[in-house]
A and B are shown apart, each in its own frame.
Chain A
Amino acid sequence: MRASVNQKLTELGERERLKELLRAKLTECGWKDQMKAHCKEVIKEKGLEHVTVEDLMVEITPKGRALVPDSVKKELLHRIRAFLAQHAT
């Protein structure tokens, strides 16, 4: 079932729409700037020359997940549920 749901999400373009929506909301609420500031600290720590994507990922992702505001989270969940309700078999 999961696979079919995922497939539908992608096929109907809903995944892209959800992605864009999330990005817009995160920028709007200041999440992106917060994360960027955190990145700066990490980079200063690690040294400008030797920073890698993996380093950043390891540092950023958990914090990012935690910092998403509740309103954004709720809205996204709502939309996903609505989609599933509409298109689930």
Chain B
Amino acid sequence: MEDMPLSGPDNTKLEALVHDIYSELVEDACLGLCFEVHRAVKQGHFFLDETDQESMKEFEIVDQPGVDIFGQVYNQWKNKECECPNCKRLIAASRFAPHLEKCLGMGRNSSRIASRRLATNNNMNKSESDQEDNDDLNDNDWSYGAEKKAKKRKADKNQNSPRRSKSLKHKNGDLGSITSEPYKYNYNTGISYETLGPDEVRSLLTTQCGVISEHTKKMCTRSQRCPQHTDEQRRAVRLFLLGPSASSLPDADAVVESDNFELPDGQTLMSRLQWEDSPDISPTDSASSKASTNHSDSRKPKKKRTSLGLNSGGGSLTGGCSSSSGSSQNNINLSTKKKRPKLSAPSISRT
């Protein structure tokens, strides 16, 4: 194994020598330790860490399951809920900071999301039944507004939103199940018409579809153009809820179709007259008059209205714009395509 320059019998001597040297070294180390300890004892600092029995017990290493060596539970804040000082809701601890950001309107994205929400909400329903807290929608967690947004506004995605993918995910899920269970995701599914007063019902029906579902007995909260229900159904519901004298369906279609529709009552004429009058009461879309006229006119591009819409839209918008040709072209595009977000965006920016 090793190259030994010495012969056999000397090997043992050598080994003995090696071991002797080794023992010497070890003894040296031991002596060194003894001196060190003795000096520490005599100087009084050897037992310093053992003087206080009480505190020693206090800081003993903990060896229990579920707890770290200091005795702390590491995930004790996981399931805690905190009460938001603003909206007084209980929020999960890990969601608390982002929620506060939106709730107080003070984060990086909160104003962006809030203005986007306002823009879309102006087009969609405004019923009381749909009132979740504002910060709910601001949260951009899944909410009723997000579902509608996802379904209808495929083109308009907020490029700055950090939650863009989340709303897309919801959209995919929604589209898959939309035919089977349209109200599955809504925790504020629909409105029960029995609980609403006549005024509420009326305001509801001016903005929403309102058709009463067979299974749930609730009113459909989608817009007037909801694809699941026909206009006949909507009219029937209005008749049922408001009585034939107080219907407020502002749809031009209704006016056209009312000639064919047979009302059991003798007040057909009355209702027809009221419907014809009401188209000007375009639903309370937005505060700005320009925007509302644009919306009401271009949202229902019937033949007798398209020209009106174009002219009024073009006229009102060009007033505020530098490039008149550009804006009127935009208007034409917008009104024919019926895309609400594009409608709202330019109108708001130009006003």
Contacts and interface: CB of A to CB of B under 8 A. Distances in A.
Interface of A: 1-2, 5-6, 9, 15, 18-19, 22-23, 26, 32, 35-36, 39-40, 43, 48, 51-53, 56-57, 60-61, 64-65, 68, 73, 76-77, 80-81, 84-85, 88
Given A52-B38, A73-B22, A32 B3 contact: no
A23 to B, nearest CB: 6
25 contacts: A2-B17, A9-B21, A18-B25, A22-B26, A22-B29, A35-B30, A39-B33, A40-B46, A51-B41, A53-B35, A60-B30, A60-B33, A60-B34, A64-B30, A65-B26, A65-B27, A65-B30, A68-B26, A77-B19, A77-B22, A80-B18, A81-B2, A84-B17, A88-B6, A88-B14
A80 B22 contact: yes
Contacts of A51: 38, 41
B5 A88 contact: yes
B37 A36 contact: yes
A40 B38 CA distance: 10
B23 interface: yes
A40 B25 contact: no
* Best-surrounded residue of B23, B25, B28, B35 (most CB of chain A within 10 A): B25
* Best-surrounded residue of A1, A5, A68, A80 (most CB of chain B within 10 A): A80
Contact of B37 (A18, A56, A84): A56
Interface of B: 2-6, 14, 17-23, 25-35, 37-38, 41, 46-47
Contact of A84 (B14, B35, B47): B14
Contacts of B21: 5-6, 9, 80
Q: What does DSSP make chain A's interface, helix, strand, loop or mixed? A: helix
B119 to A, nearest CB: 69
A75 B283 CA distance: 92
Nearest to A76: B22
Contacts of B34: 39, 53, 56-57, 60-61
Given A43-B41, A57-B31, A22 B25 contact: yes
Contact of B25 (A5, A19, A60): A19
Given A40-B46, A43-B46, A77-B19, 15 more contacts: A1-B17, A18-B25, A23-B32, A35-B30, A51-B41, A53-B35, A57-B30, A57-B31, A60-B33, A61-B34, A64-B33, A68-B26, A77-B18, A81-B18, A84-B14
